[in-house]
Amino acid sequence: MCASGAGLHPPLIIYGRVSSVSAYIFLRWVANMEIELQHIHKRFGRVHANNDISLKLHGGRIIGVLGENGAGKSTLMKILSGYQPADSGSILIDGQKAGYHGPQAAIAAGVGMLQQDPLDVPAFTVLENFLYGQPASMTRRAARSDLAKISHEFGFHLDPETPAARISIGQRQQLEIVRLLTLGVRTLILDEPTTGISAQQKTILFDALQALARDQGMTVLLVSHKLEDVIALCDEVVVLRAGCLVGERAMPATKAELVRLMFGQDIAPQERSAGSLGEIVLKLDSLTIQDRRVRVETLSLDVREGEVIGLAGLDGSGQEALMRACVGLTPVVGGNVVLKDRDLTRRSYRERMRAGLAFSAAGRLEEGLVAGLTLTEHMALMDSERTMIDWPGVRDITRRQIERYNVRGRAEDRIEMLSGGNQQRWLMALLPEQPRVMILEQPTRGLDVDSARWVWQLLLDRRAHGTAIIFNSPDLDEIVTYSDRIIVFFAGRFHLIEDASTATVEVLGHLIGGNFEEAAR
């Protein structure tokens, strides 16, 4: 049963500002969509992912959907957008019972969703992906002009002929939004849209969402763990915990208030922490790296034991290239990677791992975890020495790690059964105990505030034993809080901040825009 919420506020109905043009009012009146969820239940085996959720969603508003990892947010959103059927309960659209099955039908009914991971076809061009799902009568030409028009309206940058595989996650999102809008969607659901995108793209996205809600009367549902974003953007929030709806309130609210709503208690903000540095463990010697998107020239860096290096920059500016070059996933054009006097430049990924590097990718189910394997099987993969697998032993370790990382899932669950945040926790749980250097792409991607803190705690524990950490994050706060030194990237150029304690989010924000000269002055 659901515990009674921290404070169940009656839904506050505030209609959006009324535009002066009467025709526009008419349009809004036609277009505003009222959605009501009634007693939605969804179970996965013994997990009650959505437990009797009833909600009214009004048009013209941006509604934040909050809750800890595994609370049931994605599940609820998938039900609303037709990706999953509810076990019971109903969805009313404008008072009518909507009995749609499947995302196409939901889109036809006016509800469209951006998945946590974009679902486009990588081999197709932007235009082809855009055409997908459009009426067959639409010509390429018309599509091209629609695409251009809407992109322009929101300040999106989409080249129709680029393959989807080549554009950034942020652009893939933009593409999906444009596509859904042309399909006539009136309710837009975004599940953690800001996890993979740059600050700049985030600004563009938020402007677009605001325009859609305020000016066009659309309903926007935003699932996010970034409370700053929620505060900046949302008109009201709903909070889930363990499958239940535990709170609803109108904004504004402070971060602390939201945290209390979500976790039922206060969580202290993270303190800046400094560790003691040891010997040089990783030496990057005038490294020149070339990947598909960027070229980084002659970067040299000495990383010491126990040091944390944060990499900042817009998506694809060179920080990923650097991290991947360290582990041998991106080719090095020149220079050397030396780990404790051992030159690893020509070594394979596996050899580098054996030499003491550890790596976790940001792609989760695409790259990092293997959908279809259980948590135990993932753990068994980490022990590459034995021929026969000692299943009971591995299971014990798995259980321990589940407990330690507070993963909502069982050892025998397949990884894709976990919520996004719990998958991330498992990715972290798989990291070896004492590598010399850990290289982490967005280590807290999709984690709620509390687990992000906890995961960092565990990472910093390792640092105390001499492990160095190199990580990146779109969250500048995170970089400022945990780094000893910071490298800021812009289009392959880089700028080293020797003492991270002097850096602020504002300064970093400025730097990632490429204003290195100013900073030098």
Residue numbers at the binding site for ligand ATP (CB under 6 A): 44, 47, 49, 67, 69-75, 408-409, 417-422, 446
Query: Cα–Cα distances in Å, from 21 out to 27, 183, 186, 218, 462?
Result: 10, 25, 20, 17, 61
> Do residues 359 and 442 lie in contact, with contact meaning Cβ atoms separated by under 8 Å?
no
CA–CA separation, 44 vs 50, rounded Å?
9
Contact set for another protein, span 409-428 (CB under 8 A): 412, 414, 416
310 binds Mg ion (CB under 5 A): no
> Residue 205's closest CA among 219, 218, 222, 227?
222
Cα angle at 195 between 51 and 43, to 5 degrees? 20
- In the bound state with another protein, the residue whose beta carbon lies nearer, of 99 and 392, is 392
Give 286's contacts (C-beta < 8 A, 6+ positions apart): 298, 299, 300, 334, 335, 336
520 binds another protein (CB under 8 A): no
Selection from another protein, Mg ion, ligand ATP, none that 422 binds (CB < 5 to 8 A by kind) is ligand ATP
243 binds Mg ion (CB under 5 A): no
Q: How far is the CB of 320 from another protein (least distance, A)?
A: 14
Using CB atoms, what's the residue nearest to Mg ion?
74
- Token look-up 């909050």 returns 66
Tokens of 156: 């999106």
CA–CA separation, 35 vs 499, rounded Å?
51
74 binds Mg ion (CB under 5 A): yes
Q: How far is the CB of 78 from ligand ATP (least distance, A)?
A: 8
Selection from Mg ion, ligand ATP, another protein, none that 81 binds (CB < 5 to 8 A by kind) is none
CA end-to-end span of the chain:
60
Using CB atoms, what's the residue nearest to ligand ATP?
421
CA–CA separation, 31 vs 179, rounded Å?
18
> Do residues 42 and 84 lie in contact, with contact meaning Cβ atoms separated by under 8 Å?
yes
Q: Which of 380, 487, 497, 511 is close enough to bind another protein by CB under 8 A? A: 380
Q: How far is the CB of 463 from ligand ATP (least distance, A)?
A: 25
Q: How far is the CB of 239 from ligand ATP (least distance, A)?
A: 11
Q: Render 38-70 in DSSP notation, one character per residue.
A: EEEEEEETTEEEEEEEEEEE-TT-EEEEEESTT
Buried b (16+ CB within 10 A) or exposed e, 314-331: bbbbbbbbbbbbbbbbbe
Q: How far is the CB of 73 from Mg ion (least distance, A)?
A: 5
Q: Which of 395, 399, 493, 510 is close enough to bind another protein by CB under 8 A? A: 395
374 binds another protein (CB under 8 A): yes
- Name the 3-class secondary structure at 417: helix
350 binds another protein (CB under 8 A): yes
**At what angle are helices 420-429 and 391-404 packed, to 10 degrees?**
120
Selection from Mg ion, another protein, ligand ATP, none that 102 binds (CB < 5 to 8 A by kind) is another protein
Q: How far is the CB of 72 from ligand ATP (least distance, A)?
A: 4
20 binds another protein (CB under 8 A): no
Contact set for another protein, span 40-59 (CB under 8 A): 44-45
Q: How far is the CB of 222 from ligand ATP (least distance, A)?
A: 13
Q: How far is the CB of 255 from Mg ion (least distance, A)?
A: 20
Tokens of 146: 């629609």
355 binds another protein (CB under 8 A): no
75 binds another protein (CB under 8 A): no
Size of site (CB under 5 A) for Mg ion: 3
Q: Work out the widest C-alpha separation in the chain, in whole angstroms.
A: 74
- In the bound state with ligand ATP, the residue whose beta carbon lies nearer, of 81 and 422, is 422
Chain contacts with Mg ion (rule: CB under 5 A): 74, 419-420
Chain contacts with another protein (rule: CB under 8 A): 44-45, 78, 83-84, 102-103, 115, 119, 329, 349-350, 353, 359-361, 363, 365-374, 377-378, 380-384, 386-389, 391-392, 395, 412, 414, 416, 430
